[in-house]
Amino acid sequence: MADFTDEDDALLDALGVEVETKADSARTPREERIIAGFEDIQRFVQEKGHAPRHGEDRDIFERLYAVRLDRLRALEECRTLLAPLDHQGLLSAETTEAAPDLLDNDALLAQLGIEDRAASPLTQLRHVRSAAERRVAEEIAAREPCHDFARFKPLFEAMKRDLDEGERVSRAIRKDAGFLKTDIRKGEFFILGGQILYVAEKGEPIKAPNGEMDARLRVVYDNGTESNLLLRSLQRALYKDKASRRITEPLPGPLFAETYDSDDSASGTIYVVRSLSDHPGVAAHRDVLHKIGVTGGAVERRIANARLDPTFLMADVEVVATYELFNINRVRLENVIHRVFGSARLEVEIKDRFGKPVVPREWFIVPLPVIDEAIGKIRDGSIVSCVYDPKEARLVPA
């Protein structure tokens, strides 16, 4: 458009028309990128209704925006540049994380993904995650509630009892100590980030882009959440956490002492009870459904409050058999019983007195004569080579 002359200006002024002169942009490519990054934060605030916040429970992008906003607040040149655009008052808010004092401006800009070099706008990708952000997102699989946590809660409780009794130990994980990806197996427990996790499922092997083998895992946490992540991602997380630990399987050892005599004191009792519950899943198998437990005290005291105990199906029970123990490791004995009769374990969910679903672990659909036979094999040590076959309803070689 041609420039206005003085006469044109006077004519327009008489008509009440104002002429707006658009100034040429004098922003550098770096300033444009700073503004683009700030606009991403503004869009987040507009959508979510609050400034981005720090915290491991936050979305990865919110955490990245929170760090970026802290850096922008810490740099005077950024505040000066962005002040006219800050209609949400983000720059004047209190900084949520102290900016490092040891980094100069270029280093801080680098952390924001801003490079101090001229670049054509045509070569700049906006609103696209960097490779580093994608790697973080891959490794931090979103956790969600574990809807069948009642199945796993008894496993966590038994594992914690084993730790208390010394049947299991936790060992620090070190990359140079022979811990490999292939060592992560279904059914193992680990401690990561202060939480106990259980590898509930392990998918078929898949080939990673770098040629290594990987697998998809279902990981359940002791706080009732779960995540679906890659085996290699779990391995990296265990390596990065210096406090991570691996929980061993129950330690092997003798079930009974080698010798005992009449002066030895009893160390416990195996008790077998039958439930009087009217639950349909229990009543259908009442004659062959038995709880096999081990106690160090009186059986009567153990079952006194059965109707209030989800372990006893929230119902009264009747004792059908007891076996006195001498010089025996009760924890190992329970593990043996659960292994032998594991295929016949009752799968039923009940609610405790607080309405919380529970899946008991010590009820088995096994005829009483077979239990009596198993106790005999426990006493002579031959039980280690036996398992129960539900189809044949008898003990068979393992």
Q: What is the mean pLDDT of residues 255-264?
A: 43
Same domain, 391 and 273: yes
Residues 95 and 212 in one domain: no
Q: Give the confidence band of 161 by pLDDT, cuts at 50, 70, 90.
A: confident
Contact between 97 and 131 (Cβ < 8 Å): no
Structural domain includes residue 97:
yes
221 in a structural domain: yes
Q: Is pLDDT of 132 > 50?
A: no
272 and 379 both lie in a single domain: yes
Secondary structure letter of residue 144 according to DSSP: E
On whether both 154 and 128 belong to a single domain, the answer is no
Cβ(320)–Cβ(371) below 8 Å: no
Predicted pLDDT at 264: 42
Alpha helices by DSSP H, listed for 55-199, are 60-74, 76-82, 105-111, 131-139, 149-165
Does the residue 64 lie in any domain? yes
Give how many domains the chain has, as a whole number.
Answer: 3
CA distance 191 to 132: 26
User: What confidence tens digit (pLDDT) does each residue in 164-207 have?
Assistant: 776 777 888 765 444 444 468 888 999 988 899 999 999 888 87
> In this predicted model, which residue has the larger pLDDT, 361 or 182?
361
Considering only residues 356 and 115, tell me which one the structure prediction assigns the higher pLDDT. 356
In sequence order, what are the residues at sequence separation of 6 or more whose Cβ sits closer than 8 angstroms to the Cβ of residue 206?
A: 213, 214, 215, 216
Q: Can you give the residue range of the structural domain that contains 65?
A: 26-137
| Rounded distance between C-alpha atoms, residue 1 and residue 7, angstroms | 16
Beta bridge partners of 324: 269
pLDDT confidence tier of residue 360, bands split at 50, 70 and 90:
confident
The predicted structure's pLDDT at residue 171:
81
Claim to verify: residue 378 and residue 275 sit in the same structural domain:
yes
Residue 225 bridge partners (DSSP): 145
Q: Which of 108, 137, 166 is the last residue of a domain?
A: 137
The C-alpha atoms of residue 358 and residue 154 are separated, in whole angstroms, by 8
Q: What is the largest CA-CA distance in the chain?
A: 126
Question: What is the domain-level CATH number for residue 161?
Answer: 2.30.30.30
Together in a domain, 84 and 161: no
Q: Do residues 381 and 344 both lie within one domain?
A: yes
> Domain for residue 239, yes or no?
yes
| Band of pLDDT at residue 213, cut at 50, 70 and 90 | confident
96 within a domain of the structure (yes/no)? yes
Report if residue 6 sits inside a domain: no
Q: What's the pLDDT tens digit per position in 38-78?
A: 998 998 898 888 889 888 778 778 888 888 898 899 888 88
Amino acid at 330: R
42 with 128, same domain? yes
For the question of whether the overall pTM of this predicted structure is more than 0.85, the answer is no
pLDDT of residue 256: 44
Q: Given CA atoms 7, 12, 16, 19 in this order, what sign does their dihedral have?
A: negative
The C-alpha atoms of residue 324 and residue 271 are separated, in whole angstroms, by 9
- Domain assignment present for 7: no
| Domain annotation covers residue 117 | yes
* Average pLDDT of the segment spanning 139-156: 82
Query: Taking 90 as the threshold, does the pLDDT of residue 156 lie above it?
Result: yes
Q: Could you tell me if 295 and 392 lie in one domain?
A: yes
Confidence of residue 380 (pLDDT cuts 50, 70, 90): confident
Task: State which of 247, 278, 302 marks the end of a domain.
Answer: 247
Domain boundary among 212, 247, 282: 247
- Which residues 6+ apart lie within 8 Å of 218 measured at CB? 199, 200, 201, 202, 226, 228
Residue 172 shares a structural domain with residue 123: no
pLDDT digits (tens, 9 = 90+) for 303-321: 998 888 888 999 999 999 9
- Say yes or no: 48 and 122 in one domain: yes
As given in the structure block, the two tokens for residue 171 are 């060992």
Q: Are residues 52 and 77 in the same domain?
A: yes
Q: How far apart are CA 247 and CA 18, in angstroms?
A: 78
Helix runs in 202-329, H state only: 231-240, 280-283, 299-302
